[in-house]
Every structure is written in C-alpha cells, then in structure tokens.
Amino acid sequence: IITMDDIVREGDPILRVVTEPVSMPPSQEDREEMAAMLRFLRYSQDPEMSKKYKLRAGVGLSANQVGLNKRMFAALLTDDQGNEKEYAMYNPKIVSYSVSMTYLPESEGCLSVDRAVQGFVPRYEKVKILTYDEQGNERKLRFKGFDAIVMQHEMDHLNGIMFFDHINKEHPFKLPSGVQISS
Ligand SMILES: O=C(O)C[C@@H](Cc1ccccc1)[C@H](O)SCc1ccccc1
Ligand code: NI
C-alpha cells in the first residue's frame, strides 16, 4: 500500500515536471496505480487506518507525488449529502472556469510539503474539467467551492505547480483585485 514514505517531498524534481499523458484507455498498470492512490486517500481519512499507517489526511493525490510521471490524479470528496465520492482523473484538463475567485482562509497544505506556508492561494470558484475514465470514456465534470479548489490543486501538480507558487510574495494575504471573491 502507499504510505507517507512513498510520497515525494518538495525539492524532488518530479514535483516540477509537466507530467506525460497516460495512454487511452488507461493500461492495467495505470489502473492499479490509481486504485492504490484512491486507497491511500480512503485510509488517510479513516481514523483507525490513518493511525495504523501514520497517514496525513488527504483529499487529493497526484501521480507525480508518488514518483510517477503520469498525467493522472485521485481525489476523494464528500458531497453535500455526506456521501464519499471517488474521482479517478486520467489526462484531466480544465476547459472553462468562472470569473469569480475563491480561496481557503486557512491557506492550503500539501502532502508533499512538510511546513506550514502562510498566504492566500487564489483559485477559480468554479471549474469545468474534461477528463477520461477507466474505460477511456470522455467525461465533463463541474466543480465549485472546496471541490474546485481540490481539483485545481491537483491539476497544478500535474503541471509542476505547487500551491505556494500562487501566493503573492510581497503581500501574502492580498487577494487579486478586480475580481469577485467568495471564501
Ligand atoms: O498534496 C496534495 O495534493 C493533497 C492535498 C490537496 C489539497 C490541499 C489543500 C486544499 C485542497 C486540496 C491534501 O488534501 S492536504 C490535506 C487536506 C485534507 C483535507 C482538507 C484539506 C486539506
Ligand atoms: Ni499537494
């Protein structure tokens, strides 16, 4: 299983690569790796398993965070009915986004970053993502709010971008002017 030892930390060059698209439909290997990434996220959100395997809670995990130069990430979100929703995102692409922006007041964290980074990370409030599923079918998915933030955080990983790249160096808590902000 994937444990924290398998997660590469900032400074590792693979966190700065633009990852390679995976074949369509995904290979057996791609699907097995995705299953392991989703399992990590499930265990990381489970009180017993996270304690047993010393896992940091995660809602998303990109392939390059576990050393794989592959354009895919896993996400484990909870819908407003409280049901767990698994996302296996192969070759995802943001195809449209809202004018309005959002951000997490407590800033963002990252399983690959073992330090607290201060500052606001501006994100689109809504995103539409074109992605492929396990069978290679094209899917158009829409996300807003926290789920949209997760998707953007993971999409960034696939493009070698870290969340702190978005923080304004001079004024970390300054929000982009001129656009509507909801937090
Ligand atoms: O490092 C990763 O990519 C996983 C991050 C993704 C993430 C961070 C901040 C905001 C949205 C997504 C981990 O999920 S950080 C841990 C975490 C857990 C629950 C809620 C927020 C952050
Ligand atoms: Ni991250």
Nearest-atom index, ligand 1, CA of 73: 3
Distance 114 CA to ligand 2 centre (A): 11
Q: Is 145 in the pocket of ligand 1 (CB under 6 A)?
A: no
Q: How far is the CA of 89 from the centre of ligand 2 (A)?
A: 15
CB-count burial class (<10 Å; 0-12, 13-18, 19+) for 90 = buried
Q: Which ligand is nearest to the CA of 74?
A: 1
Q: Does the C-beta of 88 come closer than 6 Å to ligand 1?
A: no
* 137's tokens: 């079918």
Is residue 108 part of the annotated active site? The answer reads no
Model pLDDT, residue 176: 80
Atom of ligand 1 nearest to the CA of 108: 9
Assess whether the C-beta atom of 158 lies below 6 angstroms from ligand 1: no
| Whole-number pLDDT of residue 123 | 96
Q: Which two tokens stand for residue 38?
A: 């989703």
Distance from C-alpha of 67 to C-alpha of 47, rounded to nearest angstrom: 26
DSSP string, 16-59: GS-PPPPPSSPPHHHHHHHHHHHHHHHHHTSHHHHHHTTPPP-S
The helix (run of H) or strand (run of E) holding residue 61 is: strand 60-62
pLDDT digit string, tens, across residues 117-149: 999 999 999 999 999 999 999 999 999 999 999
Does the pTM surpass 0.90? The reply is yes
Residues at Cβ < 5 Å from ligand 2 ion? 110
Asked if 143 and 127 count as a contact pair (C-beta separation under 8 A), the reply is yes
Contact indicator for 182, 105 with CB cutoff of 8 Å: no
pLDDT of 183 > 80? The answer is no
Does residue 150 line the site of ligand 1, with CB under 6 A? yes
Q: Tell me if 53 sits within 8 A of 3, measured CB to CB.
A: yes
Per DSSP, 157 falls in state H
Indicate if the pLDDT at residue 41 is higher than 90: yes
pLDDT digits (tens, 9 = 90+) for 78-107: 998 999 999 999 999 999 999 999 999 999
Strand duo 181-182 + 138-144: pairing: unpaired
Cα of 112 vs centre of ligand 2, distance in Å, is 6
For residue 58, report the distance from its CA to the centre of ligand 2, in Å.
9
